[in-house]
Structure 1
């Protein structure tokens, strides 16, 4: 639970941290936090641990009616082929209202689209253009999902070069209710797609399962340990079931929870299932008390089968500072493979880019442009005058006295605004403004 957060007042951050700690089962002495407070009974219905609201998922409608191609993908709803080339752009809209399962993937209190989902998006786009192998994909910036609102998502696939390789990139920017984007596009990943090599035979699963000579690693409170490090995964992303280790090799079994298992067919490989497979790598770091790295660079990713709901996992060092990942179904048949995956640590600062994104207002200092000097033959001062009275000027009690006594209005009128003692600041400001507007 983060206590110090950039651009968040300390008192608010500490109180929110106490509330988050309490909501996760921690003990908080609220009598010390809220001195003089008393306990009251909560209303029953809204706070019961059952949900009765009917889900009404927001569909994308018939995108073909506006000249786009439909993909049938949960995150990429439409595709368009750019005229005069074989470039293609896949687009979608991501929000917690439409893809509520993403809320179960929070890092340092921020909902982030997992790197496994970005890989799945690129594989889906590659399949559309006949490039079924992801040669490389490097993640540049986290794709943060706001608590309120949505982000526009684009996966762009470039033209094929002489060797059939295509550049691919993932970008996003905030989405407003009018259906258009606002602000700059953020680059989240870039890579290269190539045609799948049909001559390559996928790695076969180990003949005996569980693997011979592998020791059991207890999963136990693994996800609670991750939560203590800022990785707060909800039920959808808690798919790790069993783990074994044999030297530097890690084996695991993962499965999709029932609430999202039916959605497996909509993806090539459900992001929550692939993400859970990678959690097995964190078991070692959890045992050693080290940090929890996240995927950074993927190489040689191939999808051999679609619609998996459970996986057997083998992870081993690749000899280059990364790991290889091989995924199989429950019968031992290949599902997906990753030749090399490099991990990196992520910091709260990298996810703090949207701390102030929930407000339409900002505070900026705008320098006023000076009006230059003012020359006038006559002056008038409304009010006490004092040092404001210029040579040749006259003092009037108020604007009515000025208008009544002057044959011709002076070139410059100075209104003296003296702060009124007493009263609240908003009332004083409002009264002064009303007085000035009345004179004008």
Structure 2
């Protein structure tokens, strides 16, 4: 019946009005009823090309246009607020599981300028181990519905494998409820390989402790300049570019060090990120001053292995002072250093406290650079039974901490 009026001028003007107003659904309804319409009016500026599509219902090909993948954010980034957090990009939660996913391509400052020599694989771009702390902290705030600047306490952290980024790849942060209001955090790669595990929760803000920086400095008579410090780190296989050279000055003495850090000039702070990777990694780099004082440097890089606890009070500013000292009762031995670290501002107000931070030489593990998976080292034929037993013992300790069968402190007492 509509076809009888297809040539009616009033109906044609009505159809043209629908087109101008964007009421295409209405126009389509009348077209399927028989209304003849000049569809070329839809494409006055550019005529689209035709695409062949199957004429039978069994073909499974898709003909939808796929939007290009979103570029990963760097820190800083012009697209920073396109993500939940500079290190936590998307919420991919399912029923019963909170989860977040991030995609890194290796061009980010914390990867491009943070490279580690991993055995025979050579120097690789590796996500700083301490970046896991900020990822876990942000995930806890997001999963709890708290503001991203809320104070957080973390405990019983263990690093299980390095995250090597030779090509774009994803990291996934899973959050599950634990006893006593705690949240368990598991950071994995896209294939489900565990990178890091930690527990934590949002905590009440407390008045920050204040360090007497002048008093701390008086007990340290030795000085190490930045070039010497980074030369030592390079010699051990830790290669830092400009974005990860935040340390400007170090004083040390009696198994402790006091350092000043400045955020590199090409970087900027993000209010959602309380522990900038460059500054937090710079705090850990100060261990090289203690190692220089102890004697000959090892040939393998020291990397994070475990951490008893972290308390994040506030955001780190562009200038940070770091007080590192050997943890009570733990002298450097067997390629292991256990330290306590405080980060504070110019007035000595502490923003981050790290207790029982364990660094081990990477030589005890063999890394698969293509996937970033750390595997147990295969004993060489001439290895002594005692060396093999030690290796298995430390692997069992790491597994026990990862499975929550033992605390980091208990593991340190044993090994």
Residue of structure 2 in register with 1:74 after alignment: 86
Residue of structure 2 in register with 1:118 after alignment: 132
Within a 5 Å distance, the mapping from 1:153-168 to structure 2 comes to 153-161=171-179, 163-168=180-185
Residue of structure 2 in register with 1:142 after alignment: 162
- Please say which of residues 163-172 and 316-325 is displaced more in the overlay: 316-325
The CA RMSD measured in Å over matched residues stands at 2.7
Q: Residue 166 of structure 1 contacts residue 193 of structure 1 at CA under 8 Å; is this kept in 2?
A: yes
Q: Residue 164 of structure 1 contacts residue 195 of structure 1 at CA under 8 Å; is this kept in 2?
A: no
Tell me the distance in 2 between the aligned counterparts of 1:115 and 1:267.
Answer: 16
Tell me the distance in 2 between the aligned counterparts of 1:207 and 1:356.
Answer: 39
Tell me the distance in 2 between the aligned counterparts of 1:117 and 1:356.
Answer: 16
- With a CA cutoff of 8 Å and minimum separation of 6, indicate the structure with the bigger relative contact order: 2
Residue of structure 2 in register with 1:172 after alignment: 189
Change (3 A) 1:193 1:233: same
Q: Residue 181 of structure 2 contacts residue 201 of structure 2 at CA under 8 Å; is this kept in 1?
A: yes
Residue 324 of structure 2 corresponds to residue 315 of structure 1: yes
Within a 5 Å distance, the mapping from 1:11-410 to structure 2 comes to 58=71, 72-83=84-95, 85=96, 87-97=97-107, 99-108=108-117, 109-128=123-142, 129=144, 132-146=152-166, 149-161=167-179, 163-173=180-190, 184-196=191-203, 198=205, 201-208=207-214, 211-219=217-225, 220-260=227-267, 262-287=268-293, 288-291=295-298, 292-321=301-330, 322-347=338-363, 350-354=366-370
Structure possessing the higher radius of gyration over alpha carbons: 1
Tell me the distance in 2 between the aligned counterparts of 1:209 and 1:126.
Answer: 36
Change (3 A) 1:75 1:214: same
Q: Residue 251 of structure 1 contacts residue 313 of structure 1 at CA under 8 Å; is this kept in 2?
A: yes
Deviations 1:199-258 (A, max 9, x none): 5x5432115277223213222322123212211111111111111124222111111111
The count of aligned residue pairs is 275
For residue 323 of structure 1, report the CA deviation from its aligned partner.
1.5
Consecutive unaligned residues in structure 1, runs of 5 or more: 1-56, 61-68, 174-183, 358-440
For residue 304 of structure 1, report the CA deviation from its aligned partner.
1.1
Q: Residue 161 of structure 2 contacts residue 195 of structure 2 at CA under 8 Å; is this kept in 1?
A: yes
Q: Residue 317 of structure 1 contacts residue 323 of structure 1 at CA under 8 Å; is this kept in 2?
A: yes
Tell me the distance in 2 between the aligned counterparts of 1:350 and 1:239.
Answer: 29
Q: Residue 71 of structure 1 contacts residue 79 of structure 1 at CA under 8 Å; is this kept in 2?
A: no
Change (3 A) 1:75 1:127: same
Deviations 1:261-304 (A, max 9, x none): x1443422101111111111111213422324221111221111
Q: Secondary structure at the match of 2:282?
A: helix
Tell me the distance in 2 between the aligned counterparts of 1:281 and 1:100.
Answer: 22
Q: Residue 312 of structure 1 contacts residue 330 of structure 1 at CA under 8 Å; is this kept in 2?
A: yes
Q: Secondary structure at the match of 1:350?
A: strand
Q: Secondary structure at the match of 2:317?
A: coil
Deviations 1:95-116 (A, max 9, x none): 124x244111111111110111
Change (3 A) 1:320 1:144: farther
For residue 185 of structure 1, report the CA deviation from its aligned partner.
2.0
Tell me the distance in 2 between the aligned counterparts of 1:266 and 1:259.
Answer: 18
